[in-house]
Structure 1
């Protein structure tokens, strides 16, 4: 589900970014537009940084909140504790001391282990941290590839997606597939795989984190000054800014303003593209009116034939011999008859019906001459 949501965000963002990019022909025409493209590139980097920070905030918010300012007890940081003493001194049944967290475990500020003895004893402490949310150790091959050793499942998926994106492993035709390079083939054992299969394949490459290992010597010498040993262990604690982070994620005021500005940018880019098309149209006419009119008439003729589903041969129609064929006279007669039959002729006062017909025929013939004039003749008139 997380990967699907991430892919959806990626597709939507990529579509929006593509809508805001100025075409190269406009950038060549207006050199000052490079400043806008620089801002667009900076916005892309800023969006990536904000998206990463949002994911980090979401991960931090998932951690349980400790009520009040009461300090956590020592045992609350660990999932299990194992103390291994010298097996030769205490035997195979008494050399291990183990503590594991249970649902009913009562937290404590420390652990005390006592064993009789009069000689120095080597002991090994194995501490397993209680990560919330759980963290996993990656397979060494995948860890070297992604640069991640131990992280949460969501962070591992994010690092994997960034690697796929940066190395262009997504299939160009089938977006739901990724093409495995030689490293992925060694790790996942397949030439290509679906995005939806990644969590299942990744499960076999995740292990429990390594425990913290502390080697210590328990000294019984009364003159030994090192009775206490201190070790620094990095643990995750609740962030005091969690309330502010939650408010930041739930706030939609800035997002609405950003959406409105993006819509305005899209409308401006669309208007620029339309103006560029109009400019090219007018510039082509001003440079060579005759060729422009001829090309325009040819284009309009093709569009008209496509709209009316008319079949014709442009190569024959552009020659004058085409209009000297025997069928032309019959076609002209049928055309005039169809025009006359669609009009209602009413004789005006002082005008005969024959006069009206003659005037109408002159008008039809005049239009007919214009209709059958070749594009070349019209170009010369212009």
Structure 2
């Protein structure tokens, strides 16, 4: 039987051959469990065929594993489809009801106290709300989405009053969106007066992505009046393909027909020149215009209101659920933790199988198994000793140190030490080496 190396404290390495009993799987420390597991292969979750013969329920696990593989493939494909869908804007049309109302109030003059000092005042309100607000919850977490305020649908608001009545400084009321704008549910304007006042209200919608009004000639050619820039370029490309205006030799050249020549002013152009040329044919969309007359209500009527319904575009709430599914880190971490737990269990089962095989061979042929085990351990220790350059048995005899190789080794060692001391001395004295 081979002897242990001095000072080694016995063999501490893990046995990798068929005769040594494997070490049991040790659970990961708490800090290692928190870290994301390394990616492993699908084959690491497969149970060995021998184990399946010993345990019939293992076949149910293999069937479940096959179903899981199909489900993972389907989810991966659907996730890629959702990522492609999320790259494009998903819009739904909703009806926004706008309420325009006014009331008359009497306010006391700050310097007079009698009844004749009361000043007639009117207050104009512009408010609104969505009629169909049923899609305010997400399907992912069933939590209500924040409701959009009335001002979030518009880019600007202008209320124009009678200029002759209120002068050049008081006849206009303007609101424009900025980066620091606080959203509100409505707008209020208060002025003094009791005579009828005609006012014009202009509301400019805030579209995302931005929409543009086409030049009348281009709108007649494409059949659209207001649309986003990508939709306009797409419609123009469909018109070019329908009328075969693409050059047969140079495919990026467009041969303009009479209608496109009137729009762009050229006979031929490259398709990459279309976006800059469209810049002169697109204008800002017209604002919504409402007319309202402020006058005293009839007897017994406190408030006069008018409502209008318009269509607005909103982000589809389904998109929120899609993003929550695609970019949910909690779900991904939970799946990775369960995958790692499955890998650990299968690894432990495989180690137990190897351990069982070890003892099964010992039970079948104990004497032959012990002899093979001792022979294998002796060969392993001998190989380790040769690889490390250690020959413990030979170093115990004096003949090992009287060989010519030992004399040569001592001379090389002394020569190296002398050169090292010489170099250190020259450095300390500042002698420059050539």
Shorter chain as denominator, the TM-score bin is 0.3 to 0.5
The structure with the greater share of residues assigned to strand is 2
> Normalising by the residue count of structure 1, what TM-score does the alignment of the two structures yield?
0.47
* Relative contact order higher in (CA < 8 Å, ≥ 6 apart): 2
The structure with the greater share of residues assigned to helix is 1
Work out which of the two has the higher radius of gyration on C-alpha atoms and give 1 or 2.
2
> Normalising by the residue count of structure 2, what TM-score does the alignment of the two structures yield?
0.42
